[in-house]
Amino acid sequence: MLGFNTDIGVDLGTATVLIFQKGNGVILNEPSVVAVEQDSGKVLAVGKDAYNMIGRTPGNIVAIRPMREGVIADFNITETMLKHFIQRALKKRKFMKPRVMVCVPAGITSVEQRAVLEAATRAGAKQTFLIEEPRAAALGANLDIFEPSGSMVVDIGGGTTDVAVLSLGDIVTSESLRVGGDKFDDAIVQHMKNELNLYIGERTAEMIKKEVGTAHLDLRSEEMEVRGRDQLSGLPRTVTVSSEQIYEALKSPVESIISCIRRVMETTPPELSADIMDKGIVITGGGSMLYGFDRLLADNVKTPVHLPEDPIGSVAEGTGKALEYLDQLEHSLISNKILTKR
């Protein structure tokens, strides 16, 4: 039971933080960005307001992404961001301490686990649990992970891709790859610089990815105008980019993810592999929405691929559901009890 309904699930992502609350669904969806005044260290904005400052701030203000590749890169800023979001999520009940379920990459180290637990506890959590992203994604996608049958989930977030095969409520085999949506954007930035001599920012790269990007060359053929700074003259310039160009830019990170999925499939026990062939692979996370990725994956691994109704919100919803199944999951979760151990 969720008590007074203050307990929350947190998808603490590299690109976005989502908070889920039973009965209310996803109650917060904000970019993982904090704007800070460099001289004083004062926090000026968090979330969307801070995101809008990226690439547009004066010299004494910096927009920071405190999460990098799925883990905490700046502890103090992450704590501030998490505290801000938790208080906003609870609103009138801000003085009540919630139980918090936070999802983390499957390959997170014990040091990184402790950092997440400390950040959530200091942000006001009564009790904190950690759940691996693919397990949360499976719950959010309504897979029955507690049955003695294999389920495969691929969660492509901003900083990491987590691939896992689950059975009887736990992970059988998994791999975490530090490639995700941010690497897609970086690849587009580098392609524009190397092939077109044009400097663009990460926000423009993200827009290109959504408007004309594709993982499957046969499925999309579109063009768009892009403005940036000419690498040679330093002056503003407009170019036209096509889906074919962005397909080439994204080829390397996409192939890395496909290779990771194949490696996990190769280490999966035969009986569970047969289950996966029947049920297919579920892909979640913002990166899974790259145009044509589901078709490309299905073609490569010869297995059906399914996108849930809400790929981005699946992990956050799964963290909330995990609190409902705490009796079945608690033995395999990490909680802030480890903070009291020396």
Per-residue pLDDT averaged across 184-204, rounded?
95
| pLDDT for the residue numbered 197 | 96
Q: Is the pLDDT of residue 340 over 60?
A: no
How close are the terminal C-alpha atoms of the chain, in Å? 31
CATH number of 145-307: 3.30.420.40
Q: How many CB atoms lie within 10 A of CB 338?
A: 12
128-144 pLDDT, tens per residue?
Answer: 999 999 999 999 999 99
Which long-range contacts (C-beta less than 8 Å, at least 24 apart) are formed by 261-266? 261/154, 261/163, 261/297, 261/301, 262/300, 262/301, 263/175, 264/152, 264/163, 264/164, 264/165, 264/173, 264/174, 264/175, 265/152, 265/301
Residue of 159, 12, 3, 182 lying closest to 85 (CA atoms): 12
Q: What is the mean pLDDT of the chain?
A: 90
140-189 pLDDT, tens per residue?
Answer: 999 999 999 999 999 999 989 999 999 999 999 999 999 999 999 999 99
Residue of 126, 72, 146 lying closest to 321 (CA atoms): 146
Helices (H), the chain: 48-51, 75-90, 110-122, 133-140, 181-196, 202-212, 243-266, 270-279, 293-301, 314-324, 326-329
* Per CATH, domain 8-31+71-136+314-336 is 3.30.43.10: no
Ordered by start, the domain boundaries in the chain are 8-31+71-136+314-336, 145-307
37-73 pLDDT, tens per residue?
Answer: 988 888 999 999 998 887 777 778 888 889 887 778 8
- Reported as a pLDDT band with limits 50, 70 and 90, residue 341 is low
| pLDDT for the residue numbered 95 | 61
Which long-range contacts (C-beta less than 8 Å, at least 24 apart) are formed by 57-63? 61/35, 61/36, 61/37, 62/35, 62/36, 62/38, 63/33, 63/34, 63/35
Kindly write down the DSSP assignment for every residue of 75-127, as one continuous string. HHHHHHHHHHHHHHHHGGGTTSPPEEEEEE-TT--HHHHHHHHHHHHHTT-SE
| pLDDT for the residue numbered 2 | 38
Q: Is the pLDDT of residue 19 over 90?
A: yes
